Chains A and B, each alone.
Chain A
Amino acid sequence: MIIIPLIILIIPLIASIFYKNIKNSSAIGAIIEIFMLIPLYLLNPYRGFFYIDTVTFIFVLMVSSIYLLSVLYSRKYVRDIKNRGISENMYYLLMNFFYVAMEFALMVNNYGFMWVGIETTTISSALLLITEKSDTSLEATWRYIIIVSAGVTFAFISVILIYYSFGTLTVTTILAEKISNTLTVRLAVGIALVGFGTKVGIFPVHTWLPDAHSEGPAPVSAMFSGVLLPTALYVLYRIYEIFPMRMIFVWAGTVSVLFAAIFLSYQHNYKRMFAYSTMENMNIALIGMGTGTEIGLIGSLLLLLSHSFGKAGAFYTAGDILHISGTKEINAISGFIENKRISASLLLSSFAVTGTPPYGTFFGEFLILYSVLSIHFYAQFIIIVFSLFIAFVSINLNVSRMIFRGKYEYNKSSGSIISLISGIISIATGIIFLVVINAIL
């Protein structure tokens, strides 16, 4: 049944054919993509040219949902942008290509093509960042292109080494092999950590991340943070599966989480603040996958799923706030409690991304921390808990200052409903998880 993944890849391309009317056709295509998830779920597990299992399915679910939300949110947002770097139709076209590249990287059963997919996401998404054109956004775009391309190029060495060791690049064949503890394989996995880690946001190769997130338009930032980074993480996980190098992966994640928390403590731009929060969450997910335990993996998937909705909501809200107030400075914003919808969605999503109890992120982090303890990584455990605490305090303190302090002195336009929906889905994932886990227990 190779046809189902193919249809998923082709629908956005078909939608792009109606270039004159691409705004509507993309939205319709995105809705069909959501319905295509049902046959994809029934197809699971599938091994052929594409490789679909539960992990893949959850990532595909994430990508299609955020894509739908972003396309819907863009309708108003992109229309209102004053100085566009690219035309509105071009924006949707690139968005569709970007989405197809991500889906391709997720579903394909070949490390080489995964690499191609990741590289294509960079190329297709780069110009999306200059939708709101300014000197700063051009600089951020350039940094994004050059740093990520350099990093992903490094990951190509890893692909070459995998081919060298196994004589094939097919994921399922390689994962079925028993002999994998050779130096070349370890080297390949280590290089992949640095290479694809550039895109995941591992310290110290994360530097493009806050720039791109803060300068891109809100729906694109949401796509980046919610699904692009997890896609790169998925590819990294597939390579990790060849030979689990627990120690290196968990330490890389731990150090990155610590630095993300430190960076979070002195941010004055709310979009950059959410960007660093993404870095923190991605690295916690990396730790969960890096522990190599099943509970860690479940925790990571739950964290990523919930985080993608929460962070998408956060960036949509940030876009609304930027539209209303015209500034990205946290200190210049005050009294958003007057604006009910925006303040509600801001609070919902900021709680989501910091891992407050009823959200999926909380249960995800809980499971990951549990798995870190279960493999006796105590030092890492302490550092992670400490960093999570700093991150929680910094983000929520800044958000509550934006909402509760001072007077509201902007126009009364209420924000988009989509950001609220996104935040609510994030909370729902946690509750559904609780219900499911109770039913199992």
Chain B
Amino acid sequence: MNIMYTIIYLIAAFLAITGFHIQSEKYLRSMVLGLAIQSSMIALISFIFGIILDSYTFIILGILVIFLRVILVTYFLINKIPRSLSYVYESKVSTTYMLILDFIFIIISIFIVYSISFIHIVTITYPVKNILLFPLLLFFQGLFLIASRKRTIAQVLGYVEEENSLIILGVFLLPVPIIIESSVFLDVLILVVIFSVISIEKNVHEKMEELRG
């Protein structure tokens, strides 16, 4: 049983690595695939919990993640990236700066948010205390992705990453009613639909003179 928890811990740590990968990637298609890997890791964690705790809720959650996040969202986003260069590739991204800034941002946020408050929360499903670091890490990475990138699709990915972090937070903390979890999924889906409507018209977001002040 103990080894299972160690495996979960390691997978949770790799979630943060996928976050860094998505952040530093220039090719939008690889970003989408990175997110698919991240989602499948979450599904894997959910399945392992389902086996350990003998709870069908987690299994359903895992299936939902696989179906909606890994397959549907990825398929949708990949097919929505048009072939022209301006959609495929974001040139003004320096991997080094992105990594270092992301690192500084999340460390400061985690330090403020986690060490003040979350550190005192005792998780129910998972026995090791500092596991809540990883969902929070992912959350702030999603936030930073939204803030640092200019492409519509990159910002959507940041949002999906945030939703991923919420699911994993819920999984680690306690079994949240499945109905609310599933509404999170629907949100993502609808957001992706709206994104597709907007991205046809507008795929880069720069500062605008009309929207100042």
Binding site for B on A (CB under 8 A): 112, 115-116, 119, 123, 126-127, 130, 133, 135-136, 138-143, 145-146, 149-150, 153-154, 156-157, 159-161, 163-164, 169, 183-184, 187, 210-211, 214-215, 263, 266-269, 272
Contact residues in B for A169 (Cβ distance below 8 Å): 177, 180
CB closest residue in chain B, given A273: B213
Knowing A123-B191, A164-B174, A183-B120 are in contact, say whether A142-B166 is a contact too (CB < 8 A).
no
A140, B190: Cα distance in complex, Å: 18
Knowing A140-B211, A160-B176 are in contact, say whether A127-B205 is a contact too (CB < 8 A).
no
Number of interface residues of B (CB under 8 A): 41
Whether the Cβ atoms of A153 and B173 lie closer than 8 Å is: no
Among B179, B184, B195, contact of A156 (Cβ-Cβ < 8 Å): B184
Binding site for A on B (CB under 8 A): 117-118, 120-121, 124, 139, 142-143, 146, 152, 155-156, 158-159, 162-163, 166, 169-170, 173-174, 176-177, 179-180, 183-184, 187, 190-191, 194-195, 197-198, 201-202, 205, 208, 210-211, 213
Knowing A160-B170, A169-B177, A272-B213 are in contact, say whether A138-B201 is a contact too (CB < 8 A).
yes
Contact residues in B for A267 (Cβ distance below 8 Å): 213
Whether the Cβ atoms of B176 and A150 lie closer than 8 Å is: no
CB closest residue in chain B, given A140: B211
Q: What's the nearest-Cβ distance from chain A to residue B141, in Å?
A: 12
Question: A123-B187, A156-B184 provided; 8 other pairs, C-beta below 8 A?
Answer: A136-B210, A138-B201, A139-B208, A142-B198, A150-B142, A150-B143, A153-B159, A160-B170
Among B163, B169, B205, contact of A142 (Cβ-Cβ < 8 Å): B205
A161, B143: Cα distance in complex, Å: 20
Knowing A116-B183, A146-B146, A266-B213 are in contact, say whether A138-B174 is a contact too (CB < 8 A).
no
Whether the Cβ atoms of B194 and A127 lie closer than 8 Å is: yes
Whether the Cβ atoms of A142 and B159 lie closer than 8 Å is: no
At the interface, is chain B mostly helix, strand, loop or mixed? helix
Q: What's the nearest-Cβ distance from chain B to residue A330, in Å?
A: 12
Contact residues in B for A263 (Cβ distance below 8 Å): 213
A145, B190: Cα distance in complex, Å: 11
Whether the Cβ atoms of A187 and B213 lie closer than 8 Å is: no
Contact residues in A for B202 (Cβ distance below 8 Å): 135, 138-139, 142
Whether the Cβ atoms of A187 and B163 lie closer than 8 Å is: no
CB closest residue in chain B, given A183: B120
Whether the Cβ atoms of B191 and A153 lie closer than 8 Å is: no
Contact residues in B for A210 (Cβ distance below 8 Å): 211, 213
4 pairs of A and B residues whose beta carbons are closest in the complex:
A112-B180, A138-B202, A187-B117, A136-B210
Contact residues in B for A112 (Cβ distance below 8 Å): 177, 179-180, 183
Among A123, A133, A187, A268, contact of B118 (Cβ-Cβ < 8 Å): A187
A210, B210: Cα distance in complex, Å: 11
Among B159, B183, B211, contact of A150 (Cβ-Cβ < 8 Å): B159
A139, B201: Cα distance in complex, Å: 10
Contact residues in A for B180 (Cβ distance below 8 Å): 112, 115-116, 159, 169
Contact residues in A for B190 (Cβ distance below 8 Å): 123
Contact residues in B for A116 (Cβ distance below 8 Å): 180, 183
CB closest residue in chain A, given B159: A149
Among B184, B191, B198, contact of A141 (Cβ-Cβ < 8 Å): B198
Write 16 A-B pairs (CB below 8 A) sorted by A numbering.
A123-B191, A136-B208, A138-B201, A139-B205, A139-B211, A142-B198, A142-B205, A156-B166, A159-B180, A164-B174, A169-B177, A210-B213, A214-B211, A263-B213, A267-B213, A272-B213
A127, B191: Cα distance in complex, Å: 11
Among B159, B166, B179, B208, contact of A157 (Cβ-Cβ < 8 Å): B166
Q: What's the nearest-Cβ distance from chain B to residue A174, in Å?
A: 14
